[in-house]
């Protein structure tokens, strides 16, 4: 939406940092049976009212300008625009990784290895895709015994051990990642596996809000969860939500008056208007932090 009279001005919402990508993603975390979906569309959108000023990476706090510069290298894509809200979309690209070994290994490299600053060499997506192949081979072996995400997560020690053995023979790849000792390799493997199982949309939003400084009335959606979940978060800015069960509508907005738009509207009229905020059968996760 636009906060001006036109929706074509630079900086209007919704924001997307990384363009749509096609990645191999495992789905089925919510229904208890994992399945690999090659070439899945992956993209993240956010709407934000407030000010994104600082963000914590590796235990250090960086201002918006430093984060924006880092995001170009971290995502592999230039900034679509320089408004602060767009940078939130870029950070969410890095945090929402569940089901993707490529995104999870990138997350572990960026957030869990100690780089000392934001000024370091970040491998491109091709290298993380190569890393993902090694993780996936070991994971495919685990899938022969069960496809339950809960059972697989409980048996992660064996998975991590098999991945460690496989990666120890990949000297060139480890050198490109800057991993020079077994301790760093162990952290990288464990954090990648954790992100693969845990970093869904809600976890990603919680991680962002924990590390971000500023004011936020935030909505986050992703193509990977578009059939089941969206997340609203608020701190220092309000988010209002209204449910219209008879019309099948969930309306949200930073202004309370906005969510009254469906008052008095009949069901057929609501659908005929084609509201982009209509959501049926979706889990709405909210954070007040």
> pLDDT digits over 38-76, tens only?
999 999 999 998 999 999 999 999 999 999 999 999 999
Please state, in angstroms and rounded to a whole number, the distance separating the CA atoms of residues 190 and 167. Answer: 13
Selection from 178, 149, 113, 112 nearest residue 36 by Cα: 149
Mean pLDDT across 162-167: 95
For helices 182-198 and 125-143, what crossing angle results, to 10°?
A: 70
Q: Which of 89-93, 184-188, 225-229 has the lowest mean pLDDT?
A: 225-229
Task: Give me the pLDDT at residue 5, please.
Answer: 54
Task: Give me the pLDDT at residue 211, please.
Answer: 97
Q: Residues 241-255: pLDDT tens digits?
A: 888 888 888 888 888
Mean pLDDT across 148-152: 89
The number of beta carbons lying within 10 Å of the beta carbon of residue 56 is 15
Residue 127 clears pLDDT 90, i.e. is over it:
yes
The pTM score is 0.89
């Amino acid at each position: 939406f636009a906060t001006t009279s036109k929706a074509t001005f630079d900086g209007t919402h919704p924001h997307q940092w990384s363009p749509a990508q096609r990645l191999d993603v495992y789905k089925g975390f919510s229904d208890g049976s994992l399945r690999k979906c090659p070439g899945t569309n992956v993209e993240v959108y956010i709407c934000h009212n407030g000010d994104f000023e600082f963000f914590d990476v590796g235990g250090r706090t960086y201002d918006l300008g430093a984060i924006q510069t880092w995001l170009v290298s971290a995502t592999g894509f230039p900034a679509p625009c320089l408004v602060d809200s767009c940078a939130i979309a870029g950070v969410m690209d890095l945090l929402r990784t569940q089901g993707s070994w490529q995104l999870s290994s990138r997350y572990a490299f960026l957030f869990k290895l100690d780089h000392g600053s934001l000024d370091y060499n970040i491998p491109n997506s091709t290298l993380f895709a190569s890393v993902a192949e090694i993780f996936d081979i070991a994971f495919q072996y685990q899938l022969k015994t069960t496809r339950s995400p809960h059972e697989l997560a409980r048996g992660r020690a064996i998975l991590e051990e098999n991945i460690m053995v496989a990666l120890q023979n990949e000297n060139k790849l480890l050198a490109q990642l800057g991993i020079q000792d077994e301790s760093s390799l162990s952290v990288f493997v464990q954090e990648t596996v954790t992100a693969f199982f845990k970093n869904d949309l809600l976890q990603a939003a919680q991680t962002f809000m924990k590390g971000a400084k500023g004011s936020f009335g935030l909505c986050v959606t992703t193509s990977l969860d578009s059939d089941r979940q969206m997340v609203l978060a608020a701190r220092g800015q309000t988010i209002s939500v209204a449910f219209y069960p008879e019309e099948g509508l969930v309306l949200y907005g930073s202004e309370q008056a906005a969510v009254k738009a469906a008052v008095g509207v009949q069901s057929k009229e609501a659908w005929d208007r084609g509201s982009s905020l209509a959501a049926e059968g979706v889990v709405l996760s909210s954070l007040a932090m």
